[in-house]
Amino acid sequence: MSGKSLSKSEKLGTMPVTRLVFNMSLPVIISMLVQALYNVVDSIFVGQFNPDALEAVSLAFPMQNLMISFAVGIGVGTNSLVARHLGEKRGDRASDVANTGIFLNILGYIAFAILAIFVITPFFNMQTSIPEVAEYGKDYLSVVMFFGIGIFIEITGERLLQATGMTKLSMISQATGAVINLILDPILIFGYLGAPQMGAKGAAIATVTGQIAAAIVAIILNVAFNKDIRLSILKVFRPVGHDIAEIFKIGIPSMILNAIMSVVVFIMNLILKGFSEDAITAYGIYFKLLSFVYMPIFGLNNGLVPIFSYNYGARNVDRIHKAYRVGIISALVYMSACTLVFELFAGQLLQMFSATDNVQSIGQVALRIMAIGFIMSGFEIINSTLFQSVGSPMKSLIVTIIRQGAALIPSALILARTGNVNNIWWAIVIAEVTGLILSFIFYKGLKLTPPEEPEGSTN
């Protein structure tokens, strides 16, 4: 591979670390904030249309997030492996991984489209006894799952741009989808400009349209400008078995992290259903706001993955440590600011969603309690990124399983027995404390032993 074709990815091993972290992360953070904004605005429009529709979209979150979890897991594994092979100066292997990653996410879309046929109706019937809410939910989720090919391809394409240092182009892809969604949302939800009034289904159509547009842009940008990898339709459908295993090895912790979140939200909805539908709505608003809070951290995470992975492949441990320190400090400062906003402006945040008086009463307490865990989760996310990028994904997986499965749900079930819905929110804080302790223990025991020099490391 020529020096010219490596110019984009080589900055991962040469640019001053602090500058590199922000150079890689800021474009992704900006694009993810735009993406999070349209998720929040999506719910704001739906809430203005009908409170039942807002609850329906909130109830759809676990299944929608489960679908995204698979795509993100494949994207993380692909990103890490591509960057690692480029650090080893193995461009052909990086291209093999890229094509295999696209193949896996195409399979993922097909699997979830088939799953939708069987699960959507029972999924909503279990969570609500209000027929209108269930109907809105089915309308929304059926569109999102049957036409969800865009989110799978979009995520893969963006991770390939990020893995090769082209985060500004990744930002263009994400921003394209977000802007299209923002434009279509009010038109399709309320029936403006001669369009039919479609409510929750209109929000779903706007979402998948934006995702498909972003996917098309991401693929075009990779083919036209990403010279570190070569995409090929023939190679996409001739995946490399070894790469499939490696992508899943790295990406499964991310899948489980997000998938467990889906399971947790679903179970929490069932617990909260025993108190009131308004408690479920308040919890759903919290998760919509949470997506906005965490997007910058995930953008930082996406910027750090190729830095960690490239320098791991290049046997440069010192740069990994420096990037880690920049990431931790940035995450803690940002999450502290978010905690302050939630504590001071909980009522205003809820009012954006046209929250009723009862949702306001429940939600203000909920937001202020659960925001206590933000700072701890910032530390956990950066550590998880490091573990996955340097070949220790099981550490990240263990933290996730214990934090969510062994700490959060049992705590919520116990606290629910007090009969006070406000006590349930403390389960989130208990889970974050547990995750913080485990994450710190694993970090202290992590040994960044450089990999052996691969045979035939130059192409």
pLDDT value at position 9?
61
pLDDT value at position 7?
46
8 Å CB contact between 184 and 212: no
pLDDT value at position 136?
93
The model's confidence at residue 86, banded by pLDDT at 50, 70 and 90, is confident
pLDDT value at position 5?
41
CB burial string 330-365: b at 16+ within 10 A, e below: bbbebbeebbebbeeebeebbeebbbbeebbbbbbb
Q: Is the dihedral of CA 129, 135, 141, 146 positive or negative?
A: positive
The model's confidence at residue 35, banded by pLDDT at 50, 70 and 90, is low
CA distance 316 to 305: 14
Name every residue whose Cβ is closer than 8 Å to that of residue 167 and which is 6 or more positions away in sequence: 23, 24, 25, 26, 27, 28, 161, 302, 303
Query: What is the share, in percent, of the chain residues with pLDDT greater than 70?
Result: 94
pLDDT value at position 214?
93
> What average pLDDT score do residues 167-177 get?
84
- Name the least confident of 79-88, 189-198, 387-396: 387-396
- The pLDDT of residue 458 is above 60: no
- Name the least confident of 69-73, 204-208, 454-458: 454-458
> What average pLDDT score do residues 359-378 get?
93
Q: What is the pLDDT of residues 257-279, one digit of tens each?
A: 778 878 888 899 899 988 988 99
CA distance 144 to 112: 10
Q: Using CB atoms within 10 Å of the CB of residue 174, give its burial: 0 to 12 exposed, 13 to 18 middle, 19+ buried.
A: buried
Q: What is the pLDDT of residues 95-114, one digit of tens each?
A: 999 999 999 999 999 999 99
Q: What is the pLDDT of residues 331-346, one digit of tens each?
A: 999 999 999 999 999 9
- Name the least confident of 24-33, 125-134, 202-211: 24-33
pLDDT value at position 145?
95
pLDDT value at position 119?
94
| pTM passes above 0.85 | no
- The pLDDT of residue 6 is above 70: no
- The pLDDT of residue 367 is above 90: yes
pLDDT, greater one: 91 or 366 = 366
User: If you average pLDDT over every residue of the chain, what do you get?
Assistant: 86
pLDDT value at position 218?
94
- Name the least confident of 7-11, 75-79, 273-277: 7-11
- The pLDDT of residue 204 is above 60: yes
- Name the least confident of 231-235, 345-349, 384-388: 384-388
- The pLDDT of residue 39 is above 80: no
